[in-house]
């Protein structure tokens, strides 16, 4: 199976672990990723807060290229890229007028045939295609908080429409994948809360407060790790964790590893952690690999006293 | 030679705004057979009707066309006027130039042309009308009331007080409905049970009322004045004639952990149970789904052994009973919407997030906590309760675009009752708007705020979750202060939207009653016929028609009783003579119409000569059963069935005259 690959900007920068782990996973699953040739910015943040047409035209060009290059399915592992691409595709499906306008602006045609996959869609596809049988290094006993943030649960038409199993207010699309690794998705309250997103640089204090509350609730619920599918969330929860703890937020001062869903699956598939990028995290994630199960089992007890 | 009079109504501006009525009248006057044409601002008013009556006499009219609103609105009005002037009322027809023309068009010239077309068609029809006489059918002066809540009880008592018989049917083991579950009632805070239970007893003991509890309507046949209702009397497994309600049985029943429907799941009951201590009848039934003996087919029988009267019989079965009634009152009430659909409010998983009925049971002296406000999870007295109004209501995403009407008031009442019972408790109410129109209602809400200190926050709640320490965190907006608010609560009460009862729709279909987009039963006219339905002889009481509080429910129930008593006032009922007629000369007796008739109104008829010898068998229409739908006329292969008032000749003439 060949699947189109849209890495976007993050996956070669701050979100490189996402890129590494997705590529490691397809290796295990026996799927070929083909990067869209000559791709451009998805239009997230900068474009869609500046100019509506631009924010549609940019992903339109990417979709058009993918179609031209014969890619029926494209995975955009970054949640923001996914939202832009899938949202644009849906808008174009609904409006012939918009499709004509975009064809005019971009100077390319798009017949609306590309299926855009999020990281969770993609993982589900791989699991169904045989990856589930290859997850032999079970992470039994590891309690994991599945964190969706905004863009993996919303817009509902992007995240729900696919197979109508998802409640945007209470998403569960990561649960089956987490269970496939032997880990246990926990019940917690902050799965769809805002991490602070793009305020990371401009209003760091807001990010520290919001992400701190997410970490605290995950620890209260007994999580030994948080799993995400968004480079922005990852950087706020992982990179800012020191600042959060320094501010007395985030519950207990124990470090809480923040993993991409693909990293978690990679671990369960027995991929060396360095190949997944686990050694590149700001908050120590390698400890999950050091007698993973044992340490994980003891983690909830250590994180008992939190709450801010 | 036909002499037709045409009367064109302006309906104030409603028609005249888009249809040029004077020129329409001038054009009408030139039509074949028309001898008089006039237009007037309000044709339905007294001067308008006088115009019609006088013209009938003066111009010796043989037919009248009134071009105005829908015949559903005023056909009866004008036909009465015609009759008063000595013209057979069925020689008057209405051309609908309002709903079918002026209201739906804006181009005046085109609308006027269309109005003339509609008018010309009716003139052609009226020229071919025959004088008809209403059909008289006997009336069975017994009413059936479906639903034994306060609406059904009130309707039944009022009809019974009028001297007519009533059969009161309820599908649960006791009458009383939702009102029996309430603690106190707004805006006077009188105890719900204290005002309801005497009426329940009265309904059970009234000589004119037959109570059929634990019974469901399986089928309805017939028509106004002559319904035949098939009732399924569910197996009770307890003989109510022998049982004294002593309670030995439910004391012995080993299945005691069943969530009580009456206590909204907060209390428990046994498999043999009466829903509540004041139930009417005060006799238990066995819940077959939970009874050990009935699910396994053997064993247990502890209740039977305990019964001092030998009233329990496990071989009991559903019994079918047919009842003849002349009128039916639907009083099926409402259910609460299930807030499990709101993932952001915990998706129904949070034990201490409850609905309005559950709070009623907590506040009720007969409830599972004896009237003490204790939260379900750990029985602690909540120090802070958040009440959330409009939970589901006015949310188009959930398919509930309407206001549930009662929640503003009962939430104020809940906040008040809580503050009366827990003096140091904090009551926070999130609301979109406060809709407290009603006698003494706004004063009541002000009292909750000012005297009882309920803290009202205008805004929506965005999330409710349970923190690890057990506190419910309620996050919302205070749109007046313009800020986000977070409340740490011990209990959350959601004012879930009011929905029609489960199973309301199939019942409506049995009766030919329509439902609106939200599933509530449709009244015949939202203003002028609020308790009647499109099905003659079927009336609507209470919240089955729309969300209603107790005063509105009782008012509509009494209105139903007035309508039923009016219907029963005459021994015979006049019916529209719009029925099918078989031409016996032509009928080939293929029986296609007999099979096709949806009302079973066509039967075989033996034509005999004077000596009594059978000449032939033909189809014959029972005028009492025929609803005039015209199915048989369309089916008939030899074209030997015609519908009075809508003959082929009339219809073809109407079509032929269209331009």
Fold of A2-119: Glutathione S-transferase Yfyf (Class Pi); Chain A, domain 2 (1.20.1050)
Tokens of B208: 């004119």
Instruction: Tell me whether B440 touches chain A (CB under 8 Å).
Output: no
Q: Which residues of chain B are within 8 Å of residue A213 when distances are taken between CB atoms? A: none
Query: What is d(CA B499, CA B154) in angstroms, rounded to the nearest whole number?
Result: 21
Distance from C-alpha of B200 to C-alpha of B176, rounded to nearest angstrom: 7
> Looking at the partner chain, which of A169, A170, A221 has a beta carbon nearest the beta carbon of B468?
A221
Burial (Cβ within 10 Å: 0-12, 13-18, ≥19) of residue B105: middle
Per CB-CB distance under 8 Å, the chain B contacts of A167 are 343, 347
Cβ contacts below 8 Å, chain A against chain B, sum to 23
Beta strands in B317-380, from DSSP E residues, in sequence order? 319-325, 327-330, 334-336, 353-355
Looking at chain B, the whole-number percentage of residues with pLDDT higher than 90 is: 94
CB of B340 less than 8 A from some CB of A: no
pLDDT tens across B597-653, in order? 988 889 999 999 999 999 999 999 988 778 899 999 999 999 999 999 999 999 999
Q: Do A170 and B468 touch (CB under 8 A)?
A: no
Chain B residues within 8 A of A220 when measuring between CB atoms: 467-468
**Which residue from A170, A220, A306 is facing B343, i.e. has the nearest CB?**
A170
Does B499 have pLDDT greater than 80? yes
Q: Are B331 and B152 in contact (CB under 8 A)?
A: yes
DSSP A164: S
Q: How far from chain centre, in Å, is Cα A276?
A: 14
C-alpha Rg value of chain A to the nearest Å: 19
- Pick the residue from chain B with its C-alpha nearest to A218: B468
Tokens of A226: 């948080």
Assess: ipTM above 0.90. Answer: no
**For range B423-447, the mean pLDDT:** 97
3-state SS, residue B603 = strand
Query: What are the contacts of B393-398 at 24+ separation with CB within 8 A?
Result: B393/B337, B393/B495, B393/B497, B393/B498, B394/B432, B395/B497, B398/B337, B398/B341, B398/B497
Q: Which residue of A has its CA nearest to B347?
A: A170
Q: What is the pLDDT of residues B558-596, one digit of tens each?
A: 999 999 999 999 889 888 899 999 999 999 999 999 999
* Contacts with A169 from chain B: Cβ below 8 Å: 342-344, 347
CA–CA distance, B74 with B65 (Å, rounded to integer): 12
Q: Answer yes or no: do B343 and A220 touch at CB < 8 A.
A: no
The answer to which of A177-191, A286-300, B235-249, B290-304 has the lowest mean pLDDT is A286-300
Of B343, B466, B473, the CB nearest to A167: B343
Q: How far apart are the first and last CA of chain A?
A: 48
pLDDT digits (tens, 9 = 90+) for A32-82: 999 999 999 998 877 888 899 999 999 999 999 999 999 999 999 999 999
Average pLDDT over residues B376-384: 97
* Predicted pLDDT of residue B599: 80
Contact by Cβ (8 Å): B564, B159:
yes
How many angstroms away from the CA of A289 is the closest CA of chain B?
A: 28
Q: Order of strands, edge to edge, in the sheet holding B209-212?
A: B209-212, B165-169, B142-146, B327-330, B538-540
Cis peptide before B281 (omega within 30 of 0): yes
The residue with greater pLDDT, A11 or B575, is: A11
A168, A169, A220 ranked by CB distance to B468: nearest:
A220
Domains and CATH numbers, chain B: 4-126 (3.40.50), 142-234+318-333+501-568 (3.50.50.60), 248-306 (no CATH), 336-499 (3.50.50.60), 580-643 (3.30.70.20)
A302 has pLDDT over 50: no
DSSP readout, B439-476?
A: TTHHHHHHHHHHTS--EEEES-EEEEEE-TTSPEEEEE
For the stretch B636-645, pLDDT in tens is 999 999 999 9
B466/A169 Cβ within 8 A: no
Model confidence at A165, pLDDT cuts 50, 70, 90, reads: low
Digit-coded pLDDT (tens) for B192-213: 999 999 999 999 999 999 999 9
Four-residue CA torsion sign, A188, A192, A198, A204: negative
Rounded to an integer, the average pLDDT of B63-68 is 97
Task: Look at residue B34 and give its three-state secondary structure.
Answer: strand
Q: Which of residues 343-362 of B touch A (CB under 8 A)?
A: 343-344, 347
Q: Would you say B43 and B7 are in contact if contact means Cβ atoms under 8 Å apart?
A: yes
Three-state DSSP at B639 gives coil
| Residue B144 host element (H or E) | strand B142-146
Q: Report the sign of the C-alpha dihedral through residues B110, B111, B116, B120, in that order.
A: positive
With CB atoms and an 8 Å threshold, state whether B343 touches A307: no
Q: By percentage, how much of chain A surpasses pLDDT 70?
A: 92
Cα separations in angstroms, B385 against B34, B428, B435, B492:
74, 6, 21, 6
Q: How far, in Å, CA of B184 to CA of B133, rounded?
A: 54
Q: Does B468 touch chain A (CB under 8 A)?
A: yes
Answer whether B478's CB lies under 8 Å from B487's CB.
no
Q: What is the mean pLDDT of residues B224-252?
A: 95
Per the structure block, which two tokens stand in for B502? 């489960």
Look at residue A75 in the predicted model and tell me its pLDDT.
Answer: 97
pLDDT digits (tens, 9 = 90+) for B537-550: 999 999 999 999 99
Q: How confident is the model at residue A306 (pLDDT cuts 50, 70, 90)?
A: very low
pLDDT at A305: 36
pLDDT at B137: 85
Kind of pairing between the strands at B285-286 and B272-273: antiparallel
Structure-token match 């500046």, residue found: A50
CA distance A294 to A139: 10
Both tokens assigned to A26: 């397809």
Residues B255, A98: Cα–Cα separation, whole Å: 64
B339-362, pLDDT tens digit by residue?
999 999 999 999 999 999 999 999
Per-residue CA distances from B63 to B2, B53, B73, B119 (Å):
7, 12, 20, 13
CA–CA separation, A176 and A193 (whole Å): 21
Question: Which positions in chain A touch B467 (Cβ < 8 Å)?
Answer: 189, 217, 220, 307
Tokens for B132, please give them. 């008809």
| Structural domain spans, chain A | 2-119, 137-302
CB contact under 8 A, A189 and B343: no
Which residues in chain A have Cβ-Cβ distances shorter than 8 Å to B473? 189
Lowest mean pLDDT among A291-295, B86-90, B515-519: A291-295
The yes/no answer on whether domain A137-302 falls in CATH 3.40.50.460 is no
């Amino acid at each position: 199976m060949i699947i189109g690959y849209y890495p976007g900007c993050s996956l070669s920068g701050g979100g490189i672990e996402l890129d590494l782990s997705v590529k490691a996973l397809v290796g295990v699953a026996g799927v070929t990723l083909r990067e869209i040739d000559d791709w451009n910015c998805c239009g997230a943040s900068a474009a869609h807060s500046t100019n509506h047409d631009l924010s549609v035209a940019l992903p339109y060009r990417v979709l058009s290229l993918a179609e031209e290059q014969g890619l029926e399915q494209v995975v955009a592992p970054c949640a923001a890229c996914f939202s832009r691409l899938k949202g644009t595709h849906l808008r174009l499906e609904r409006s012939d007028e918009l499709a004509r306008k975009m064809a005019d602006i971009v100077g390319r045609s798009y017949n609306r045939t590309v299926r855009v996959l999020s990281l969770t869609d993609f993982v589900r596809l791989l699991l169904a295609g045989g990856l589930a049988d290859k997850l032999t290094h079970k992470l039994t006993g590891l309690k994991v908080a599945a964190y969706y943030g905004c863009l993996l649960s919303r817009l509902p038409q992007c995240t729900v429409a696919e197979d109508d199993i998802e409640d945007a207010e209470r998403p569960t699309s990561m649960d089956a994948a987490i269970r496939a690794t032997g880990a246990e998705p926990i019940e917690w309250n902050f799965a769809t809360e805002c991490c602070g997103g793009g305020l990371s640089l401009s209003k760091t204090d807001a990010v520290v407060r919001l992400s701190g509350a997410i970490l605290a609730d995950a620890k209260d619920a007994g999580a030994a790790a948080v799993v995400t599918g968004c480079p922005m969330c990852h950087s706020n929860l992982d990179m800012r964790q020191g600042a959060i703890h320094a501010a007395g937020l985030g519950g207990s001062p124990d470090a809480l590893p923040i993993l991409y869903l693909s990293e978690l699956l990679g671990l369960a598939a027995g991929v060396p952690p360095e190949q997944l990028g686990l050694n590149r995290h700001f908050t120590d994630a390698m400890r999950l690999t050091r007698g993973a199960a044992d340490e994980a089992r003891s983690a909830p007890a250590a994180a008992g006293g939190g709450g801010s | 030679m036909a002499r037709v009079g045409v009367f064109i109504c302006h309906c104030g501006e409603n028609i005249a705004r888009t249809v040029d009525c004077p020129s329409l009248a001038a054009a009408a006057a030139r039509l074949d057979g028309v001898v008089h044409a006039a237009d007037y601002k309000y044709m339905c008013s007294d001067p308008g009707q006088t115009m019609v009556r006088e013209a009938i006499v003066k111009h010796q009219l043989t037919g009248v066309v009134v071009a105005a609103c829908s015949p559903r609105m005023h056909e009866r009005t004008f036909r009465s006027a015609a009759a008063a002037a000595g013209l057979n009322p069925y020689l008057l027809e209405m051309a609908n130039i309002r709903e079918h023309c002026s209201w739906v068009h804006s181009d005046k010239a085109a609308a006027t042309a269309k109005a003339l077309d509609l008018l010309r068609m009716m003139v052609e029809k009226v020229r071919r009308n025959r004088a008809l006489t209403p059909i008289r059918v006997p009336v069975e002066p017994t009413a059936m009331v479906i639903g034994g809540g306060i609406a059904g009880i009130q309707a039944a008592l009022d009809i019974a007080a009028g001297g007519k018989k009533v059969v009161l049917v309820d599908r649960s083991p006791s009458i009383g409905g939702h009102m029996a579950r309430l603690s106190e009632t707004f805006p006077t805070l009188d105890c719900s049970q204290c005002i309801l239970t005497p009426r329940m007893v009265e309904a059970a003991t009234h000589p004119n009322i037959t109570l059929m509890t634990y019974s469901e309507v399986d089928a309805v046949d017939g028509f106004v004045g002559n319904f035949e209702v098939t009732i399924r009397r569910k197996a009770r497994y307890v003989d109510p004639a022998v049982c004294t309600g002593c309670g030995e049985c439910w004391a012995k029943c080993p299945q005691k952990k069943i969530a009580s429907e009456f206590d909204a799941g907060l209390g428990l009951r046994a498999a043999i149970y009466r829903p509540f201590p004041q139930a009417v009848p005060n006799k238990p039934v066995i819940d077959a789904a939970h009874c050990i003996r009935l699910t396994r087919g053997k064993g247990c029988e502890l209740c039977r052994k305990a019964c001092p009267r030998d009233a329990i019989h496990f071989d009991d079965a559903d019994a079918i009973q047919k009842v003849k009634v002349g009128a039916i009152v639907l009083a099926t009430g409402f259910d609460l919407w299930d807030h499990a659909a709101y993932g952001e409010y915990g998706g129904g998983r949070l034990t201490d997030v409850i609905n309005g009925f559950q709070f009623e049971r907590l506040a009720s002296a007969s409830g599972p906590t004896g009237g003490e406000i204790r939260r379900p999870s750990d029985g602690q007295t909540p120090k802070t309760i958040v009440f959330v109004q409009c939970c589901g209501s006015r949310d188009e995403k959930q398919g509930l675009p309407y206001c549930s009407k009662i929640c503003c008031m009962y939430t104020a009442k809940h906040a008040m009752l809580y503050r009366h019972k827990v003096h140091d408790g904090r009551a926070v109410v999130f609301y979109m708007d406060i809709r407290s129109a009603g006698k003494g209602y706004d004063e009541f809400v002000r009292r909750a705020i000012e005297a009882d200190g309920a803290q009202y926050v205008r805004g929506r709640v965005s999330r409710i979750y349970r923190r690890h320490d057990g506190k419910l965190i309620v996050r919302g907006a205070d749109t007046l202060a313009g800020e986000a608010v977070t409340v740490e609560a011990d209990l959350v009460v959601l004012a879930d939207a009011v929905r029609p009862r489960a199973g309301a729709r199939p019942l409506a279909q049995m009766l030919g009653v329509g439902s609106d987009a939200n599933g509530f039963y449709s009244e015949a006219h939202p203003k002028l016929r609020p308790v009647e339905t499109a099905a003659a002889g079927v009336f609507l009481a209470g919240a089955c028609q729309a969300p209603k509080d107790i005063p509105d429910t009782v008012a509509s129930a009494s209105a139903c009783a007035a309508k039923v008593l009016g219907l029963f006032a005459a021994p015979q009922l006049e019916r529209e003579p719009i029925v099918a007629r078989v031409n016996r000369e032509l009928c080939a007796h293929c029986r296609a119409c007999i099979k096709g008739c949806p009302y079973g109104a066509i039967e075989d008829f033996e034509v005999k000569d004077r000596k009594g010898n059978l000449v032939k068998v033909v189809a014959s229409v029972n005028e009492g059963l025929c609803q005039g739908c015209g199915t048989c006329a369309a089916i008939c292969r030899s074209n030997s069935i015609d519908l009075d008032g809508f003959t082929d000749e009339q219809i073809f003439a109407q079509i032929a005259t269209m331009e």
